[in-house]
Structure 1
Amino acid sequence: MTSRTSDPNGLAQTKWGTWSLVAGASLISTGLAAYEIVPASVTPLIRASLGIGPTVAGLLVGVMFGAAVVASLPVGAVLDRTNSRWAMALAVLTLFVAGVWGWHAGRNGDYWSVIASRALGGVAYVVVWNAGIDMVSRAVSDDHRATAVGIFTASGPVGFALGQSTGPLVAARFGWPAIFLAFTGFALLGLALFWPTSRGLGQRGGDAPTLREFGSVLGNRTVWLAGSLGFLSYSLYLFVNSWGSSYLTQEVGLSLALSGLLLAVFPAVGVLSRVSSGVLSDRLFDGRRRPVFLASFGVAAPLVLVFTQLRAVVLLVVLLLLAGFAIQLTLGLSFTYARELVQPRVAATAVAFQTSVGLAGAFVAPIAGGAVVSAAGFDAAFFLAGVLAVCGTVLAWRAPEPAPR
């Protein structure tokens, strides 16, 4: 990273300050990601306490994806017209409100109030995600942008691992409603790092983008191509996360605990993958994005296609590691790619569009995958997932490199 980078208002970021900004934004996102996934870690406790079935319980996590899909594009349009720095601070405050609301509703056994609090948390999450990618991108030089964004997006799997591993401990000590409060401290610490080092980077210079410029993002075919890459990658990621453990239990004969432990390597390797995607693109490929996309889907396709043909546990673990690494290469890089395809004035809108389309894949894939598993079995479901990866390879081949700025 360069020693100093200039912001639009003439202020300067030292190298230490830039890294503090990236670290702070990542900590905020980590706290929100942990809040997003943590109900999954204590689902039996929540079901017993509230007297709800598995499908209804699943909405405790799914509602955040749904809220993010709906809110992402409007949030991006607002971010292009307002101060992203203050938006990040407001999102952290919103997380506190959602956490206290969910804790209180859980203690009172009010399921639908818990759901409403989670929807509010979904809006906070998408603000942090879109604003964080936008500000991290503008805080660094062009030749380090993908690396910095890759580091930020790695907060997703870190937060998931944090929520899954510590949620049961929090619930055992303080009761399950406390899981909604447990991770606000990470967001507050992140804001303390982010706030002083982001001064001057939140507000763009010049007039706000016009409606015509906003429309140019939605009418850009290459932006839709980038969104399709994100949709396919998120679909693969959530499909394997959702149905991999069931396959290992029902078809391979492993215990539920061992299946969950083995499958954990699939998202966990994303910390390395999402950071590596930017480094590979910026360093190895001199800023080109397409080679990384091709490698991502090209490697993932055969791995997903042969997944149900394996029975040896060691081979399955190796396959999950390789597939998790390959699939998440696109998850990290696609957001950098999307904002590079449009003018800087509407970059946040492009990132928001990428988020919305990608999370739509995350929302649909587990449901569609479950329908295929129920109707035709795991072999057919993983075969169709492999076909999606092949489609991703074709799209990646057609992806143009962004114009140099």
Structure 2
Amino acid sequence: MKNIEYSKYISWKMLGWLFAIQLLIALVARSLAPLGIIIGDDLQLTKSQIGMFPAALFLGQSLISIPAGLLTDKIGSRKMIFFIVLLLGCSFLIISISTSFILLLFLISIAGFAYGASHPATNRGILLWFSVKTRGTAMGLKQMGVTLGSALATIILLPIAKSLGWQSATFTAALILLVVGVLICSMYSEPRSIGYVRNTNQTKPTSRKIDFKNIIQMLKHKGLILITFSAMLLSGSQMILNTFIILFAHEKIGISLLLSGVLLVIAELGGSLGRVSWGIISDHLFRGKRIIVLLLISILVAMISLIIALLPHGTSFYNIAFIVFIFGFGTSGFNGVWMNATTEIVHPSVSGLATGFSITFGSWGVIFFPPIFGSIIDQTGEYTISWLFVTFLMVLSIISLSITLKSNGGTKIHKLD
């Protein structure tokens, strides 16, 4: 009994370190959303160009996710996280002294390599430390670090940017990541390194030929493709909310810049609660049936995006805050369920590859949709059609998940434990 209790203690302790590193990574990488309006004013950018910041970040993520997944499966999470901290921190240090829009896009893409690699690295940690019965909750808690990190970026970095400039804000974020991130890496351990091995029947690919074969198998996996397509739509909608809610509230609704920044914090707090809540719901209410939960999230986001499209100028802060909270609860809260779905449909030995595969193609939603959203605003001069575009994306997600649900009844495609 004591050994079981100790192993549980170690698992949750390691979750704490994974959560902390996820939060720090998000504090840096996701700072582009709250700082976008200030960077845009400083460099005189259009709405479409501001939308290219998250697009560049997720372009880097899409290019690196599969290689990062393969590398994570080979070298383990701890070493991978260390490399991620160094690459992301150094990228943003250089960003803090850059003034060219093109150079910023290039550097943000490099930072996207680190941000994209963080998902398979930390997801593998969850897979190895937790059983399927608690993995949804653990993944939700870990993913909550992303939304809380983004919220902290607004709370900490936006005031710094307003008073000292966005360069000072990005430098501060990078320095925090490099110092604290390295300390966290020294605290985190792999299960086997401390003599704790859960029975996941894990094996490692032994050659590039096997790795290539696994990639081909995933390309043929209907369930994985449909889930990834839905994740692409949800991810794009999530980043649209994060990138444009400040601009929308300030320009369309008429709320002050400070309170508009608070709305982003509220959206991320909603997302943080959503990541834990949806994980618990999928674990206990739906007994691990992740597809049903993703379908419910898509329906919720479709309804909320339709409501926000119809909001008039002068809507009270409290009303829009409630709407944005629910919006974030859905579109920023789906990630943990998505991450579980990608790791549970394949053998544990290729869980990093599965995550990287899904993130690679899921990232294309963030690459394309925020710039399209911004371009609609540039062309029409208002936001209504842009938010209806989000509703349309959710209709496509609902269709995709409904097909998946019909194919397998919402059950897990691959049982791990």
Conserved 8 A contact 1:69-1:355: yes
Partners of 2:123 and 2:306 lie apart in 1 by 32
1:94-134 superposed Cα distances (whole Å, 9 cap, x missing partner): 3444355445x45xx68776665544432222222211012
Give yes or no for the alignment of 1:126 onto 2:116: yes
Partners of 1:294 and 1:156 lie apart in 2 by 22
CA gap 1:249/1:163 in 2 versus in 1, 3 angstroms: closer
2:155 alignment counterpart: 165
Partners of 1:47 and 1:373 lie apart in 2 by 15
1:259-303 superposed Cα distances (whole Å, 9 cap, x missing partner): 332343222211110111111111122222133112211222122
1:281 alignment counterpart: 282
Match of 2:379 among 363, 366, 375: 375
Q: Provide the aligned C-alpha RMSD in A.
A: 3.2
Conserved 8 A contact 1:170-1:178: no
Structure 2 residues without counterparts, runs of 5 or longer? none
Conserved 8 A contact 2:345-2:412: yes
Conserved 8 A contact 1:229-1:334: no
3-state SS of paired residue (2:30)? helix
Match of 1:143 among 120, 133, 137: 133
Partners of 1:94 and 1:250 lie apart in 2 by 36
CA gap 1:178/1:207 in 2 versus in 1, 3 angstroms: closer
Give yes or no for the alignment of 1:384 onto 2:383: no
Cα offset for 1:333?
0.5
1:9 alignment counterpart: none
Partners of 1:112 and 1:161 lie apart in 2 by 27
Partners of 1:369 and 1:153 lie apart in 2 by 26
The answer to which of 240-249 and 327-336 deviates more is: 240-249
After superposition, residues 4-403 of structure 1 pair within 5 angstroms as 4=4, 14-42=7-35, 52-54=43-45, 62-102=55-95, 105-106=97-98, 117-168=107-158, 175-176=168-169, 178-179=171-172, 180-195=174-189, 199=193, 205-208=203-206, 209-311=210-312, 312-313=315-316, 314-376=318-380, 377-399=382-404, 400=408, 401-403=411-413
1:5-64 superposed Cα distances (whole Å, 9 cap, x missing partner): 9xxxxxxx721211121111121121111111335555677678xx73325677665432
3-state SS of paired residue (2:123)? helix
Partners of 2:242 and 2:215 lie apart in 1 by 34
Conserved 8 A contact 2:58-2:116: no
Number of equivalent positions = 392
1:44-85 superposed Cα distances (whole Å, 9 cap, x missing partner): 77678xx73325677665432221121112212332333333
Partners of 1:295 and 1:40 lie apart in 2 by 26
Partners of 2:104 and 2:256 lie apart in 1 by 32
Partners of 1:159 and 1:253 lie apart in 2 by 27
Partners of 1:47 and 1:244 lie apart in 2 by 15
CA gap 1:96/1:204 in 2 versus in 1, 3 angstroms: farther
CA gap 1:280/1:186 in 2 versus in 1, 3 angstroms: farther
Cα offset for 1:193?
3.0
The letter for the 2-side match of 1:122 is G
The letter for the 1-side match of 2:278 is S
Partners of 1:378 and 1:192 lie apart in 2 by 47
Conserved 8 A contact 2:61-2:363: yes
Conserved 8 A contact 1:292-1:329: no
CA gap 1:196/1:207 in 2 versus in 1, 3 angstroms: closer
Q: What TM-score does the superposition give when structure 2 sets the normalisation length?
A: 0.82
Conserved 8 A contact 2:270-2:333: no
The answer to which of 370-379 and 356-365 deviates more is: 370-379
